[in-house]
Structure 1
Amino acid sequence: MKPWNLCFALALLVLATAWGGAAAPAASPALTVYLVRHAEKELAPGLSDPPLTAAGQARAQALVGALRRAHPAVLFTTNTQRTRATLAPLATATGLAPRPYNAQQPQALADTLRRAYAGRAVVVVGHSNTLLPLLAALGAPAPVPEIPDDEYSYLFEVRVPAQGPATVRVRHYGAR
């Protein structure tokens, strides 16, 4: 082989190795957020912080089954009796202590979730008027225009990738 052919072949080998041999950076795993509204609450007039009804307690138990395979890293709840009670059976089953969050600051929670829990699953219990703003803060489209006062069965599974748009899968849990 002539010297210039050998140089040309070596150059091609070096270029092929540089282009084909470099591993692409690994994609960051997606954050998965499970959003649920608190379960059925007592509707007696005058209660500023109503407890769950018997149906609500049954739904809270059903949440454990619905999220059994999710293996959440953390549980978040607002500071109301009904949200804490909705999350209590799951907290017991996972051994995780629920952490409070301010539902009036959805962007702050969304930023914390992206930063601290990428690649993991998180459960957030909120209210009919706070879940859709949190979905928006996570960059996910609203799958429903509103959550009616008598609707407690929604379980939104939100996938938030490091790059690109978030997606929402609508599920239901407990009795409809």
Structure 2
Amino acid sequence: MKRRVFLALTGAGVLTACARPGVLGLAPNTTLIIVRHGDRTGENLNAIGRARAQALVGALEGTHVDAIYSPSVQRNLDTAQPLATDRDLPINRLPANGMAERLITASAGKTVVWVGNKGNLREIWEALGAGGEPPLNYGDLFIVTSNRFGMLQVDRRQHGPDV
């Protein structure tokens, strides 16, 4: 009995030591698909960006998606729209204030897509504590999966035309 209590306390101590302040845990059995908006000229998607938005549909073919999220920035919405149309899903808009925490909470136990821009992509990445570079380049498609124990795995992919 003493051994079990010792192991339980030791395990809790290790988990506490591994926790980092400011890092939000992705709930177990959650998949967060993170995409930067398509290429742009000025504030709007250009022809390559529109092609990349269309290519997102094919890149996620065979992947179940429960919800699509984006800030209310037109280029982000335009990037998400072909996928939303294909999946018959609305694009849920999240306000900038507390966006990472809201997205991580809303995605619990689901597979969700976030189409964002550099600032909020970096914020989400830091909130997840995923490590490495966040998906800041056009065509980046990062799939962050949390297994049943809450351990993260990142699958870094590209989608759309090679430029």
For normalisation by structure 1, the TM-score amounts to 0.70
Q: 2:145 matched to 1:152?
A: no
Structure 2 residue runs without a partner (length 5+)? 1-26
Q: 2:98 matched to 1:109?
A: no
Q: 2:154 matched to 1:168?
A: yes
Q: How does 1:3-82 map to 2 (within 5 A)?
A: 30-43=29-42, 50-82=43-75
> Which SS does the other structure have where 2:40 is aligned?
coil
Separation in structure 2 between the aligned mates of residue 162 and residue 104 of structure 1, nearest angstrom: 29
Separation in structure 2 between the aligned mates of residue 99 and residue 88 of structure 1, nearest angstrom: 11
Q: Quick check: 1:139–1:165 contact (8 Å CA) kept in 2?
A: no
> Which has the greater radius of gyration?
1
Separation in structure 2 between the aligned mates of residue 168 and residue 91 of structure 1, nearest angstrom: 23
Percent sequence identity over aligned pairs: 35
Length, aligned pairs only: 135
Pair 145,121 (structure 1): closer, same or farther in 2 beyond 3 Å: closer
For normalisation by structure 2, the TM-score amounts to 0.75
For residue 37 of structure 1, report the CA deviation from its aligned partner. 0.5
Match of 1:133 in 2: 123
Q: Quick check: 2:139–2:160 contact (8 Å CA) kept in 1?
A: yes
Structure 1 residue runs without a partner (length 5+)? 1-27, 44-49
